[in-house]
Structure 1
Amino acid sequence: MTSQWKSFLQNLGVWEGSFTTFSPQGTLLNDTPSCLSLEGLNNNQTVRLTLSRSGRDDVIREFMSVGGGLLFFENGSFSEGLIQLGPFSTFGAELALIHENRRLRLVQLFNENGDLNQLTLIREHLAGTPVAERPALQLSDLLGEWQGEAVTIYRDLRSPDTYSTKLKLQVDAERLIQTTSFGERTITSTATIKEPLILFDQDPQKQVQVLLLPDGASATSPVKVQLRQPLFLEAGWLIQPNLRQRMIRSYNDKGEWVSLTLVTEEKR
């Protein structure tokens, strides 16, 4: 397996784009142009991050190692966030997907009461390369059967797991029916459709929503995070009409972050 640092270096370059903030219901709150530089120093022993939004340097960080709440896949895709869900504290994470000259990053934030509070979609391309943004995601884009492969990496850096996946989405009686298979495990669930929001509401205590976003993106989140219940955050990206990536950040029933899964799937 490629080292975490080498995977981090897949992100080097100047990334131009925007930070777009949405309410949990999908209302656009603001959109800010951005430029993020990841520069390798000292023969790539150090990486300097400089983030500029609206023409000013908002953030400057230097990395000599990675870890903590941050994990990378071999292609440079990553997630960073809190490693523990705690009582009466804010909670959230970033999930970042990479394809060729583009990155799509999603930040999901929850308030002190555990309610989903805000989502930020970050769309970026390498400076000097073409911008080929996808249209806003529609449910019709996702209907059908998807087959793919998942790679799960772990916070304790044990060997990754790789397994096949299937995802079938269909509409019946104005409800979405989703059948998901990871390896030998299959789960079927149903949701209310109110585009751009899809609400899996079978269990009122464990509602999960999917928000359809610009550039073929989707954000899957609990409506409310709760102690002593496992949870996951997911970012999806429809890169081409028949090609999609999803990243899933999973927490156990103790609120501990345990794993990160990258799914690459094609429509059949």
Structure 2
Amino acid sequence: MIASNWENFLKNLGEWRGSFTKISPDGEILDSTPSILNLEAFDNHQAVLFRLRRFDSSDYDTPPTQDYQQEYRSIGRHNIFFSTGAFAKGTLQLAPFTEFGAEYGFVDNDRRSRLVQLYDKQGNFISLTLIREFRSSTDAYERPQLTVEQLIGNWEGKAYTSYSDMSSSEVCSTSLEIQEIGNGYLEQKLSLPSQVITSTAKISGNKLIFEKEREIRQILLLPDGTSSNVPLQLQLRKPFFVEAGWLVRENERQRLIRTYNEKGEWVSSTHVIEYKTN
């Protein structure tokens, strides 16, 4: 039996201590705010109390500078939760002169990693927020910053896709081959059941820069094994996708993808779980 969106949401329950870190479009760490997030079920798991506190310093005993609470009894259709508790949500429709954003969350035992990507009203990629969370009273630890070397190799996995029109979700096998091809470039070959997509990126510090048909796409390699994969400029009447990744372990990586069609409509969310084979 397939778990419901609500049941998958409940896999995020607990008290999570962490931080909200602002990051520039170039991957520069700007500032961090300590936080405590509580997700507590009540009413026989039919409701969840969300409480987020932010602090001036890492001394959680001081009064919070922000204390926000909200009660949930349902999940909006724009927010898809997957079997691990991972989720992806964001803007439903790209429209002229409106801001655009996406948020992703990964869950692994006593760790959560979340990422928020934001665009301005002109469609320019302007900021990231990385949220690193650790279940209270555990010895969960942070992963090192993601490196190109960790990505190179062959990755085999499965992609779980849910659709905005509520049609049946799908599962397909994926194969991703990443290799250095010299002169500061790498090649990425993604094999799906219906197609093979090959792309080339320039390695520039903590950035991988893909250029194709005047579109520039950037993967930022971030702290805690995370990554952000976005077009630097959103274009109307052109399909696109935005993505976040998390290297959960040296040989396991998860990715969350939101796909939009040429009308700017959100079409699907996909959770990829892939393992390094060599």
- In the TM superposition, 1:19-30 aligns within 5 A as 19-30=20-31
- Deviation per residue, 1:103-130 (Å, 9 max, x gap): 1111000001100000011111111111
Show CA shifts across 1:217-246 (max 9, x none). Answer: 100011011111111111111111111111
Match of 1:103 among 98, 112, 115: 112
1:13-24 mapped onto 2 (5 Å cutoff) = 13-24=14-25
Q: Can you list the C-alpha shifts for 1:120-174, whole angstroms capped at 9, x where unaligned?
A: 1111111111122111001011011111111111122222111110111111132
Determine whether 1:219 maps to 2:228: yes
SS in 2 for 1:7: helix
**Counterpart in 2 of 1:184?**
194
2:248 counterpart residue number: 239
Which of 152, 158, 168 is residue 149 of structure 1 equivalent to? 158
Does structure 2 conserve the Cα–Cα contact (< 8 Å) formed by 1:68 and 1:83?
no
Q: Which residue of 2 aligns with 1:162?
A: 171
- C-alpha distance in 1, partners of 2:75/2:38? 17
The normalised TM-score by structure 2 is 0.93
- Equivalent of 2:86 in 69, 77, 84: 77
Is this contact kept in 2: 1:71–1:155, CA < 8 A?
no
CA distance in 2 between counterparts of 1:245 and 1:180 reads 15
Q: Which residue of 2 aligns with 1:10?
A: 11
Q: Secondary structure at the match of 2:141?
A: coil
Q: Is the 8 A contact 2:227 2:245 kept in 1?
A: yes
Deviation string, structure 1 residues 38-57 (Cα, Å, up to 9, x no partner): 11121122111111111233
State the SS of the aligned residue for 1:201: strand
Q: Which amino acid aligns with 2:65?
A: R
- The 2-side partners of 1:58 and 1:233 are apart by 30
Q: Which residue of 2 aligns with 1:262?
A: 271
RMSD: 1.1
Distance in 2 between the 1:157 and 1:16 partners? 34
User: In the comparison of the two structures, how many residue pairs are matched?
Assistant: 267
- Cα distance in structure 2, aligned partners of 1:211 and 1:97: 17
Matched with 2:59 is: none
- 218-227 or 61-70: bigger deviation: 61-70
Amino acid paired to 1:182: L
1:171 maps to 2:172 = no
- SS of equivalent residue, structure 1 residue 8: helix
Partner of residue 87, structure 1? 96
Structure 1: 5+ residue stretches without partners: none
The one-letter code of the counterpart of 1:38 is L
Name whichever of 232-241 and 48-57 sits farther off.
48-57
Aligned match for 2:65, one of 41, 56, 74: 56
Deviant stretches of 4+, over 2 Å: 55-59
